[in-house]
Structures are given as C-alpha cells and as structure tokens.
Chain A
C-alpha cells in the first residue's frame, strides 16, 4: 500500500514508475469522464436496469442456493458429457421418480408465476397508457 507523507508530497514518496502509472490512470479516467455526457449516462443506467431487476430477484430467493448445488450434482456432470437419450417412455418412467416430481413441481409453479406476473405487468402497462 502506498503511504503518503503530507509534508513530503507525492513526488518524494512515489517512484517515477508509480507516478507514471498514476498519470496514466488519471488520464484514462479523464477519457471515460469526457465520454459520459447526459445521454450516455442515461443509456448506461437504463441498460443496467434489467440486470438490477435480475439481481433483486436472485438475491431474495433460495433459487441460487438450489441451482448452485444442482449444477454440481455428479449425475448432471455425467449427463453433460454423455447425454442420456430420453424419449416419451423414458420421460414417463422418470416422472415416477420422487425427485423428478419435486423438480417438476418447482417448474410448474414457476410457469404459473410467470403467467401471473405477465398479467400483472400487462395490467400495469395498460394503466400507464
């Protein structure tokens, strides 16, 4: 960490290379700052809004915990490298498995919630018109 002695000043405390790096950093920073006019700031902000919405959705649910664990399941590893072929009968056999049934339960509820949310968003946008 660079410690700056206020009495000595920057030039006495930093090496020439560090000062050059600092100048480089500040110059580049000026470039970025100059690029950010009102419209660019607004565009960047607006473009980040869907990401913020997703982050909000993800941090307030156990989904990420469940997905993290599911993605590390050895059976998924095997399936990724050697995908099993499952047809209609295989699917029906799989549906008799309790864990598959629970997974389906989550997906069905998610699909239902997406349908409900789509209605809510559509109603809200109609009110704005």
Chain B
C-alpha cells in the first residue's frame, strides 16, 4: 500500500524510543538515529486499561486488538438472552463515537440479524461519562435512537468498580447488573512523547497549521491524529483531513514557498442506525463538521447507508491514498 518512494521501517526494532525536537533526530529501539529536516508525529494513542482500578476485571472490548474483538464476537454469537452493559468510563477514547454506534448496531444485530433471539429477552444499558454524546446534532440523533430501541442511556456515569463475582458495575450512585459487560477503555499517548506534551498529556499544536506549539515552537514539526491535543474528537476522519493539510504544507515548505495549508477542524463520524438485512433497507449518514461549524441536525437515510458501505469497501484504495 505504501509507495516504494517511501523508505519504510517496520518491526519491533524500529519502535521509536526518543524524539529529540531540538537536535532534530528520532531514535529507535535498535539504536539507529534518523535525522530530520521535517517531522510529522503521528504515533496515535494506546488503550490504558490500568488507569482505572478494577477496569481489567471481566473486560470484553473491541478496542484493544483484533484478537480481543474476535473474542467479543464469539461472546455475542453465544449470547441469547440477558443483560448487556456497554460502558465508557472516560471520554478520552480513540473515536468516541464508536461505543455509541456499537450500541445501536448491537441492538440491530439482535433485532434484525439474530432470528433465533427474541429482542425482548435482551436488555441493553449504555453507561456514558458526560452529558452529551459529541456535538448536539449527533447527541440528539443518538438519544432518539436509544429511546426507540429501549436502550437505557445513563449519562454522567462515574466509574467506581466492577464486581466480577456478582456481575455488577458500580458507579458512585448506582449499580448495574450485567450478564455481558463490554468496555471502551480510556486511552493514553505512547510513553515516548512524555516531555513534549502539554498538561492534557497530548501533543500541543497550532490548531490551524498543526505545527508543534509547545513551550518551544517548531515550524518544521507537525503532528496529526489521535496524539494531537485539538478541540475536536480523536477520529480517523479528522486524521485524514489533518494529513491532507500537513502534506500540502510540507510540499510547499520543500518547494520553498512556505504557504501553510490550514486545517479548520474538519472531522466526521459515520453513523449507522440500521444494517441492511431481510428486514431493513439500511440507514446511515456521515456528518462532517469543523471547529466553528457544528454538524446540522440530520436523519440517517438508506442512500447514506449505501454511500457509507462504498466508503468502507474502497477505503484502502481511495481514502487512505487521498484520492477522494
């Protein structure tokens, strides 16, 4: 997938162990140092299950690895009746929309795909740590979907602990019984960026130029993706638009014209409210918004679902290569 023009270094030995912004080099595990004229920091984020005591008990999650996601898939295939609790104990998840959409799709799976299950035999609860789920239009859409599907939505949830023996999640005020607990863990930046982050723990950048904007400023260093501290959710669509902006700015710098291609906070969140099935035409939408222009109220549509599915199938050949 990567152009042969790009010299790639993969493998454990190439894991970044030091980022020296002043001396302008990156050091990796095998001891090699790579000097740079320009640097783009795109090291992402990592699950941080240890952050909250007791979160690792009875943990089922699609966030940590493909193996864990497949384990959860098997749990769901074997699940026929009972209480499912989906829990997001902290908001700093990579793609905060994912656990919300997961609730809707999970409900849709038992309602429209699993013909062996009576939907009334499955009880759905969603625990969420803040008042709203993303911007107002998304939150309204999500709450409406929860209501119409009998998914109990508990906002401002404050995680206390998991009692795995009695199968109970406890908050400071309430207890939630479960038969299957599905967790979206908190996230953290990789350890190697300690020392170049701000008080949020993430990399500070100018929100429009995406140039490093810490105590010392570096116009030749950019950062994109989950690792950046920006006033928008950490999402793939955001990283995509940031990459377009930074690559254009880099081309301009290398050509010597110094024109910065500005990023205006373009970010989005594909919403699927119904999968295509024998019972449903499929319903979806992809709201896109910017720093100061929040998403407008929307309804998911069957055409929106089809566009989303095409986007899914051509992702690696179109989206990731910036053809569209």
Contact = CB atoms under 8 A, between A and B. Distances in A.
Interface in B287-317: 302-303, 306, 309-310, 312-314, 317
A37 interface: yes
A5 interface: no
B253 interface: no
A30 to B, nearest CB: 10
Contact of A52 (B276, B302, B306, B314): B314
Contact of B4 (A36, A42, A56, A117): A117
Interface string B1-20: 00110000000000000000
B309 A41 contact: yes
A41 B312 CA distance: 10
B155 interface: no
5 contacts: A38-B282, A41-B306, A44-B310, A52-B318, A52-B321
B66 interface: no
Contacts of A117: 4
A49 B4 CA distance: 19
A45 B303 contact: no
Contacts of B215: none
Interface in A31-55: 33, 36-38, 41-42, 44-46, 48-49, 52-53, 55
B3 to A, nearest CB: 7
Nearest to B303: A33
Nearest to A45: B313
Find the residue from A37, A41, A49 having the highest chain B CB count within 10 A: A41
B201 to A, nearest CB: 36
B112 to A, nearest CB: 13
Given A33-B302, A55-B323, A41 B317 contact: no
Contact of B310 (A41, A53, A116): A41
A116 B4 CA distance: 10
A37 B276 CA distance: 8
A49 B317 contact: yes
CB-CB nearest 3 A-B residue pairs:
A45-B313, A52-B317, A49-B317
A60 interface: yes
Interface residues of A, number: 20
Interface of B: 3-4, 276, 282, 302-303, 306, 309-310, 312-314, 317-318, 321, 323
A120 interface: yes
Contacts of B309: 38, 41-42, 45
Interface in A49-80: 49, 52-53, 55-56, 59-60
Task: Provide the main secondary structure of the chain A interface.
Answer: helix
Given A56-B317, A60-B3, A45 B310 contact: yes
B306 A36 contact: yes
Nearest to A124: B1
Given A36-B306, A60-B3, A41 B323 contact: no
Interface in A90-119: 116-117
Contacts of A38: 276, 282, 309
Contacts of B323: 52, 55-56, 59
A4 B323 CA distance: 34
Contacts of A56: 317, 321, 323
A56 to B, nearest CB: 5
Contacts of A45: 309-310, 312-314
Contacts of A44: 310
A38 B306 CA distance: 8
B190 to A, nearest CB: 26
A120 B4 contact: yes
Given A44-B310, A45-B309, 6 more contacts: A33-B303, A41-B306, A45-B310, A56-B317, A56-B323, A60-B3
Contact of B313 (A33, A41, A53, A116): A41
Contacts of A42: 309, 313
Contacts of B282: 38
A127 to B, nearest CB: 12
Contacts of B318: 52
B282 to A, nearest CB: 8
User: Which of B3, B303, B317 has the largest number of chain A CB atoms within 10 A?
Assistant: B317
